[in-house]
Amino acid sequence: MKIGIIGAGVMGSGIAQVCALARHEVVLYDLSPEMLERAKSTIEGNLDKGIELGKLTAEQKTETMANLKFVHSLDQVVADLIIEAIVEKLEVKRKLFNDLCLNNGADCILATNTSSIPITQIAATTPHPERVVGIHFFNPAHIMKLVEVVSGAHTHPEVTERCMDFVKGLGKHAVQVSDSPGFIVNRVARHYYVEGLKILEEQCASHEEIDRLMEASGFKMGPFRLMDLIGVETNFSVTESMFDLFHQDSKFRPSRIQKQKVDAGFHGRKSGKGFYSYE
């Protein structure tokens, strides 16, 4: 199967790596040549780490890289399945899917890696809403096993079934989910971040103390380390989206502290600084 990936950021490059490792032909698109170069370097580094840990062979790395094509022209993204991993903005995703329909046939499945925007809303203005589906990977995509496959109101059952089989073929654990704000994982996990931020706002404890407490309780990462890994701005965007989709329910209220981090460009590991410093 030929796979198109839109967006060469952390999620897009991770998804591209997983698909190429599973022997799919992959076209990774980004408007920025610099982002594509960074994605290529990141993927090579991840594969080298896998070899170092004895999980991959040098031959698998060579084959995986050969399965990848890096492009910065959207016209070159022609595939059987296209997964977008771009900014969490409804209108941007809608325009992208409409543009992709111009160069791809009626059988092409259009999938979104959105964390919170309902699939039905994204599909609403697409010429073929029945072939729009959610395939939601988790960061880091090459390590995390769970993937949510989300059906919108228009999604054809055969499209959902094909995507479930595709995800399982990647060696992932596929869970079929009905369309709803935040789906399952982000709806449940949102309060891990939001409550941690409320405790910080109320000066009950520092972010380091909150993380240490949660990690000592059995969580692999505290909420602030996890936000830095995911991307502070990405996490904030998802919280904003869910706050609106749940009609400003106070339990989803975005944090002023997190907004300040975003405004300052402190996006976490990717920027060298978030709640922690990585420089």
Domain boundary among 178, 200, 223: 178
Annotated active-site positions, please? 115, 136, 148, 186
Domain count, the chain: 2
125-140 confidence digits (pLDDT tens): 999 999 999 999 998 9
Domain boundary among 118, 152, 178: 178
178-222 confidence digits (pLDDT tens): 998 889 999 999 999 999 999 999 999 999 999 999 999 999 999
| pLDDT the model gives residue 95 | 97
Dihedrals φ, ψ of 82, to 5°?
Answer: -120, 130
Domain boundary among 156, 178, 200: 178
Clarify whether residues 69 and 144 are in a common domain. yes
Q: Bigger pLDDT: 3 or 89?
A: 3
Clarify whether residues 230 and 195 are in a common domain. yes
Give the range of the structural domain holding residue 45, as residue numbers without chain letter: 2-178
**Nearest residue to 276 (alpha-carbon basis) of 218, 229, 213, 214:** 229
Q: Which residues contact 62 (CB under 8 A, 6 or more apart)?
A: none
Asked if the structure places residue 278 within a domain, the reply is no
Clarify whether residues 220 and 265 are in a common domain. yes
Q: Which residues contact 53 (CB under 8 A, 6 or more apart)?
A: none
Asked if the structure places residue 279 within a domain, the reply is no
Asked if the structure places residue 275 within a domain, the reply is no
194 in Cβ contact with 251 (< 8 Å): yes
**Nearest residue to 85 (alpha-carbon basis) of 147, 1, 23, 178:** 147
pLDDT band at 255 (very low <50, low <70, confident <90, very high): very high
Amino acid at 277: S
45-54 confidence digits (pLDDT tens): 999 999 999 9
| pLDDT the model gives residue 279 | 82
Asked if the structure places residue 276 within a domain, the reply is no
pLDDT band at 102 (very low <50, low <70, confident <90, very high): very high
Rounded-to-integer distance, Cα 149 and Cα 167, Å: 8
pLDDT mean across residues, the chain: 95
pLDDT band at 107 (very low <50, low <70, confident <90, very high): very high
27 in Cβ contact with 76 (< 8 Å): yes
- Which residues, in sequence order, are bridge partners of residue 69? 27
| pLDDT the model gives residue 116 | 87
CA terminus-to-terminus distance, the chain: 40
What average pLDDT does this structure show over 116-125?
94
Q: What percent of the chain has pLDDT over 70?
A: 100
Clarify whether residues 120 and 64 are in a common domain. yes
What average pLDDT does this structure show over 150-174?
97
What average pLDDT does this structure show over 30-55?
96
- Which residues, in sequence order, are bridge partners of residue 70? 28
